[in-house]
Every structure is written in C-alpha cells, then in structure tokens.
Amino acid sequence: MDSRIKEAALQLIEASTVTCLTGAGVSAESGISTFRDPQSGYWSQFDPEQLASQRGFKRDPGLVWRWYMERLVGSTINAQPNPGHIALAQLQNRLSNFTLITQNVDNLHEQAGSTNVIHLHGNISTFFCNSCRRDHILSDAERTDDLPPSCHHCGGMIRPGVVWFGEQLPRAEIEAAWSAAQASDVMLVVGTSGIVYPAAGLPSLAQEFGAVIIDINPERDALSSMAEIFLQGPSGEILPQILDEIDKINAK
Ligand code: BJW
Ligand code: ZN
C-alpha cells in the first residue's frame, strides 16, 4: 500500500489539472449513512424510488419529508468534517487547478475549508416549492412537522433542494463537471459506488481524455477495476496519508 500511496502522491504533484469526485463514502466517517451499504445504507431500509423521486414524494409526502428532516439534522447539526474532508481541503491548497465535484448534499466539504465545490445533486439545507419552484426559507417549526410545509405563494409542497431520480442535474454544475473531467490529468474518485448517472460517467470521460484515475474505497467495484491506482480503505485514513506523502516530497 505504501508504494501505491507514493505513486498517487507523485501523480497528483505532477498533474497540471486535478479533479476530485466524491460520493457518500467520504462522509461515512462523519457518521452519515451511505446509500447502498447493505447494513447501514438508506436504501437497505427504503426503496429509492419511494423516497428520492417525484412519484415517491407525491405518493407519501410525509415519509419523504421526515426522511429528509432526519438526514438534515444528522448531516448539518450532528456531523463534523472528518480527516478525509480536511485532507481534500488541504489538497486544494497544494495542487494546481484543483476542482472538487461532489454528489453529496451535505456541506462537510465546505465546513472543512474546500471552496467552489460543485454540488451535482444539490444541497439538503436549501428548500423550494415543488410546484412554483420559488425558494423557501425553512423555519424551525416546519423542520419538526410531520408533513412538508406549504408554499407561501401557491400552496404547493415544499421539498429539499436536491436532485431526485428522473430529474435533470443543475446545468451549470454538470457543464462545469464535464469540462473539469475532460481537462484533468488526474481524477481522484473517493467513496462512490459509481452507479448513479450522469455523475458515474465522469471517471470514464476523464480517462478517455487521458486522465489517470485514482480510486479510494474500502470495497472493490467497477470503478476500482478501471482505475490505474486503487487504494483500498476508508478515505479518512487514506487521504491524510496521501497529503503527508505530498508534503514529504515537496520538502525534499
Ligand atoms: C467509503 C467509505 C469510507 C463506504 N471511505 N468510501 C444511464 C444508465 C442507467 C440509468 C441512467 C443513466 N442516466 C440516467 C439514469 C437514471 C438515473 C440513474 O443513474 N439510475 C441508476 C440507479 C441506474 N439517474 C438520474 O435519474 C439522474 N437524472 C438524470 O439522469 O436526468 C436525465 C434526464 C433526462 C431527461 C429527462 C429527465 C432526466 C438523477 C440522479 C439523482 C441521484 N440522486 C440521489 C439522491 C440525492 C438526494 C438525496 O441525497 O437524497 O443522489 S440517489 C443517491 O445516489 C444520491 C447520491 O449522490 C447518489 C450516488 O451515491 P454514492 O454517493 O455513490 O453512494 P453509495 O452509497 O452508492 O456508495 C458509497 C460508496 O462509499 C461505496 O462504494 C462504499 O464502498 C464507499 N464507502 N465507506 C470511502 N469510509
Ligand atoms: Zn409555490
């Protein structure tokens, strides 16, 4: 493993443009459940279509609302950035042209100090009306309600500012992510199962355009097989080791 950490550090230092794509796994060590882990993942308790889709929201708005409010408290009030988030924020200062793209709806990258983060799937702390799409500021009382609040303008249901299955990703974010992937010399992929498109297509796009893929994940999967460097383990342990190695090389 040591030699692969060194190899990853060297690739990152030598790259002119580095892009990082993160998924739920980077926040797992902050106590936020991933989506597809069989023991603790959200999808082990619920059908994704039932919760993260228009159809699911219309069928049972209360269930979807309570699920998001529980996750809002878990990810914004109770969770802190872990050493993986902190190392990524430090990498931004060490490497040239570093772009961080996340599928996560928490704000832990920003809390760790990362800036200009591209959020492909939105943000769980923002809200808008599912009918007229106007923004909504959530009150404390609304957060603890069993049903979604009503829009002050049209009476429609308020929903979290996240991207559900079947919905378009925000155009500016996906275009920025696409450009960053195509320009990358190295793409660091951290804690994602690589199942959900279009985000899952970014590593292969970067590779087609010549990028070296470094994948960090405790589990082997399709992404680890296509990666030039696979670092098996939790990102909260591996990313700080890469950062240390970069600092050692730079100090020589
Ligand atoms: C660790 C760790 C540790 C654990 N350290 N790692 C092409 C082919 C097939 C289907 C499609 C396609 N293109 C589009 C689709 C349909 C669909 C899709 O992809 N479906 C697939 C399931 C097959 N995509 C969409 O619908 C997207 N929209 C779209 O494409 O629109 C196009 C359109 C065109 C025309 C009209 C209309 C639309 C939208 C996708 C939105 C995804 N939304 C969610 C919910 C967001 C809100 C919320 O948070 O509730 O986003 S789903 C969920 O999955 C969430 C995540 O961001 C996303 C990705 O999950 P992620 O991050 O990879 O998590 P996990 O749990 O899967 O993996 C965690 C990983 O961490 C694992 O590998 C662990 O091993 C690892 N790990 N501990 C490091 N300590
Ligand atoms: Zn409205």
For 121-133, the pLDDT digits (tens) are: 999 999 999 999 9
Is the per-residue pLDDT at 213 higher than 90?
yes
What is the rounded CA–CA span in Å between residue 234 and residue 232?
7
Q: Which atom of ligand 1 is nearest to the CA of 168?
A: 31
* Ligand 1 probe mutation, 34, 85, 164, 204, most atoms within 8 A of CB: 34
Report the nearest-CA residue for atom 20 of ligand 1: 196
* Contact present, 10 and 249 (Cβ < 8 Å): yes
Of the residues 20, 27, 30, 35, which should be mutated to test ligand 1's pocket, given the most ligand atoms within 8 Å of the CB?
35
Half-sphere exposure at residue 160, Cβ-oriented, CA atoms within 13 angstroms: 27
Rounded to 5 degrees, what are φ and ψ at 138? -80, 130
141-155 pLDDT per residue, tens: 999 999 999 999 999
What is the mean predicted confidence (pLDDT) over 32-49? 83
Tokens matching residue 32 = 């936020």
Q: Which residue's alpha carbon is nearest to atom 59 within ligand 1?
A: 196
Rounded Cα gap, residues 13 and 109, in angstroms: 21
Annotated active-site residue 119? The verdict is no
Say which of 85, 109, 121, 136 is annotated catalytic: 121
Q: Are 158 and 129 contacting, i.e. CB atoms less than 8 angstroms apart?
A: yes
Residue 67 and residue 138: Cα distance in Å, rounded? 16
Mean of all residue pLDDT scores within the chain: 95
pTM for this model (two decimals): 0.97
Query: Token digits for 173?
Result: 């974010």
Q: Picking from 95-99, 212-216, 227-231, which range would have the lowest pLDDT averaged per residue?
A: 95-99
Q: Report the alpha-carbon distance of residue 49 to residue 164 in Å, rounded.
A: 9
How far away, in angstroms, is 187 Cα from ligand 2 center?
40
For residue 149, which ligand has an atom nearest its CA? 2
Q: Which residues contact 175 (CB under 8 A, 6 or more apart)?
A: none
In angstroms, the CA 212 to CA 8 distance is: 10
Look up residue 39 and give its amino acid: Q
Name which residue sits closest to atom 51 of ligand 1, judged by CA. 121
* 190 close to 239: Cβ distance less than 8 angstroms: yes
Query: Residue 39: exposed, middle, or buried by beta-carbon count in 10 A (0-12, 13-18, 19+)?
Result: exposed
Triad 166, 171, 172: Cα angle to 5°:
150
Please list every protein residue whose CB sits less than 6 Å from any atom of ligand 1. 23-25, 28-29, 34-36, 41, 52, 103, 105, 121, 162-163, 165-168, 191-193, 195-198, 216-219, 221, 234-236
Distance CA 33, CA 70 (A): 12
Ligand 1 atom showing the smallest separation from residue 196 Cα: 19
Whole-angstrom distance, CA of residue 82 vs CA of residue 28:
9
User: Whose atoms come closest to the Cα of 157: which ligand?
Assistant: 2
User: Could you tell me the two tokens for 95?
Assistant: 């490497």
Q: Is residue 206 very low, low, confident or very high in pLDDT (cuts 50, 70, 90)?
A: very high
